A = this chain, B = another copy of it.
């Protein structure tokens, strides 16, 4: 006995695509966290079976890679090629946009830091960045070192901010006060006001100034 075609629950019969799956996955991760993310929940979200996803991605790992690339694609590169804008300012704009992507996607952003990216988005990002550095007068070798210096710092800063805000993993119990007698750590206690979230912006600006300073000096050599 043939069953009547079910509809209603999901009238939207958009065909599944890699992009649509990855975007829905990002949304789901931001809502429920990386630990809670599963292909089965994603299927429910998309109105299809979990297994349909595997027709577009060979494994969950590949889907996570695609998510990372998609996040990198959200970084605003429009300022990278802007005529008449001094290279350093273009660098700053790209870096600030990178930080903004981290802040608006706190729970999926770690994927960007942990997974090796070889995608169109990654290549586009690299090419734009190298373009700025060439305009700033760097040869390919120095461009690579500078790219990595800025990238490493920016990634570390973003992750640290997310971790400190407990936006990455579900927060677990804090250390019992008895274990961390503050008298044993006087220097840390003294620095507490500047370790708080309220100081993140100032710390970011100090870091940005510092690495840009180093970049400026590297150009002179």
A 153-175 binary contact with B (CB < 8 Å = 1; else 0): 11111011001101011111111
| Residue from B62, B127, B156 in contact with A156 in the complex, judged by beta carbons closer than 8 Å | B156
**A130-158 with Cβ < 8 A to chain B:** 130-131, 134, 140-141, 143-145, 148-149, 151-157
Q: Is A40 part of the binding interface, using a Cβ–Cβ cutoff of 8 Å?
A: no
Q: Which one of A42-50, A70-78, A190-198 is at the interface?
A: A190-198
| Residue from B114, B190, B218 in contact with A163 in the complex, judged by beta carbons closer than 8 Å | B114
Copy tally for this chain in the complex stands at 2
| Chain A contact residues, CB within 8 Å of chain B | 35, 58-59, 61-62, 64-65, 110, 113-116, 118-120, 123-124, 126-127, 130-131, 134, 140-141, 143-145, 148-149, 151-157, 159-160, 163-164, 166, 168-175, 179-180, 184-188, 190-191, 193-195, 199, 202-203, 206-207, 210-211, 213-215, 217-218
Q: Return 10 A-B CB contacts under 8 Å, by A number.
A: A58-B173, A65-B172, A113-B160, A127-B186, A140-B187, A141-B193, A143-B187, A144-B195, A144-B203, A155-B155
Ordered nearest first, which 4 A-B pairs have the shortest CB separation?
Answer: A152-B156, A156-B156, A210-B214, A130-B187
